[in-house]
């Protein structure tokens, strides 16, 4: 049995559930019970992707709760975990950075496997940040576009040029050129949201997984599973 401690962010019943110690692993649901029910499958997918051993049984525990007035059902989130306020060691930072870069590289691999990146079978839908990206190209550009934004929230100058992997890698290089970055200072960012380096690392992988799942789901519906690679090890019916 492995206990997965989770952070529960919610607006009424709408839930985002995050695995505290597996950055970027998450589920969404119309209720906490639905999100908890999805978490074991998400953890198996995540652990397979990250190269970790899969336990025979997974137990979900709520370690922290954040009530929000954001549109949680659209993955609008501002939670900063209590555990994301602690300083990092160099070893821990390198491990988490490697995961964030692996996620970017795997997103690029998935995107490259989609034969026609301009078509979509997804309906138009608007959320808090505008129209939901529908084609593989729109999903890729949207996911890449948060690079400069996330780094800016912790006072690091970055850009969105090149591939999603290239701009993220340069962002980390800029971060590492700043003094005391491992102290993991908490910054008051845009719209009063609190950010730390640990949160940025989590948000990159979380945001990648949201749109990689959507891209993979749409692509296999159009092109079939044989043509689309699955580097994130998603289990999607």
Does residue 228 sit within a domain? no
What is the predicted pLDDT for the residue at 130? 61
- pLDDT class for 13, splitting at 50, 70, 90? confident
Q: What percent of the chain has pLDDT over 70?
A: 97
Tokens of 138: 């729109």
Question: pLDDT digits over 128-137, tens only?
Answer: 556 778 899 9
Report phi then psi at 7, rounded to 5. -105, 125
Mean pLDDT across 33-58 = 95
SS percent in the chain: helix, strand, coil, step 5: 45, 15, 35
Residue 86 has pLDDT above 60, yes or no: yes
What is the predicted pLDDT for the residue at 191? 86
Residues contacting residue 99 through CB under 8 Å, at least 6 positions apart: 23, 24, 50, 201, 205
Q: How many residues does the chain have?
A: 237
Question: pLDDT digits over 174-220, tens only?
Answer: 999 999 999 999 999 988 899 999 999 999 999 999 999 999 999 99
Q: What is the DSSP-derived secondary structure letter of residue 192?
A: G
Considering the domain architecture, whether residues 96 and 186 belong to the same structural domain is answered as yes
Mean pLDDT across 98-120 = 97
DSSP string, 84-111: GGS---HHHHHHHHHHHHHHHHHHHHHH
Considering the domain architecture, whether residues 18 and 75 belong to the same structural domain is answered as yes
Residue ranges making up the domain that contains 56: 2-79
Q: What is the mean pLDDT of the chain?
A: 94
Q: What percent of the chain has pLDDT over 90?
A: 85
Residue 53 has pLDDT above 70, yes or no: yes
Mark which of 53, 79, 105 sits at the end of a domain: 79
Beta bridge partners of 93: none
- pLDDT class for 127, splitting at 50, 70, 90? low
Mean pLDDT across 41-68 = 95
Considering the domain architecture, whether residues 24 and 62 belong to the same structural domain is answered as yes
Instruction: Report the alpha-carbon distance of residue 92 to residue 225 in Å, rounded.
Output: 35
What is the predicted pLDDT for the residue at 121? 79
Does residue 113 sit within a domain? yes
Q: Which secondary-structure segment (H or E) carries 146?
A: helix 146-152
Considering the domain architecture, whether residues 72 and 95 belong to the same structural domain is answered as no
Does residue 231 sit within a domain? no
- pLDDT class for 237, splitting at 50, 70, 90? low
Q: Which secondary-structure segment (H or E) carries 11?
A: strand 2-11
Indicate which CATH number applies to the domain containing 137. 1.20.120
Tokens of 180: 């005391």
Question: pLDDT digits over 141-182, tens only?
Answer: 999 999 999 999 999 999 999 999 999 999 999 999 999 999
Instruction: Report the alpha-carbon distance of residue 232 to residue 54 in Å, rounded.
Output: 15
């Amino acid at each position: 049995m492995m206990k997965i401690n989770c952070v529960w962010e919610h607006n009424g019943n709408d839930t985002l559930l995050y695995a505290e110690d597996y950055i970027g692993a998450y589920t969404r649901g119309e209720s906490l019970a639905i999100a908890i029910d999805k978490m074991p499958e998400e953890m198996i997918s995540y652990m397979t992707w990250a190269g970790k051993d899969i336990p025979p049984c997974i137990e979900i525990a709520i370690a922290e709760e954040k009530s929000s007035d954001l549109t949680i059902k659209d993955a609008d989130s501002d939670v900063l975990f209590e555990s994301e306020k602690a300083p990092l060691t160099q070893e821990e930072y390198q491990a988490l950075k490697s995961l964030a870069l692996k996620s970017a590289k795997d997103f690029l691999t998935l995107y490259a496997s989609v034969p026609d990146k301009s078509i979509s079978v997804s309906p138009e839908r608007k959320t808090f940040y505008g129209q939901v990206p529908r084609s593989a190209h729109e999903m890729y550009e949207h996911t890449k576009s948060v690079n400069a934004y996330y780094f800016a929230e912790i006072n690091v100058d970055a850009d969105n040029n090149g591939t999603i992997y290239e701009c993220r890698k340069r962002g980390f290089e800029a971060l590492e050129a700043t003094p005391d970055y491992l102290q993991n200072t908490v910054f008051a960012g845009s719209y009063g949201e609190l950010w730390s380096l640990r949160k940025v690392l989590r948000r990159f992988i979380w945001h990648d997984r949201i749109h990689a799942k959507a891209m993979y789901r749409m692509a296999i519906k159009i092109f079939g599973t044989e043509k689309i690679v699955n580097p994130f090890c998603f289990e999607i019916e």
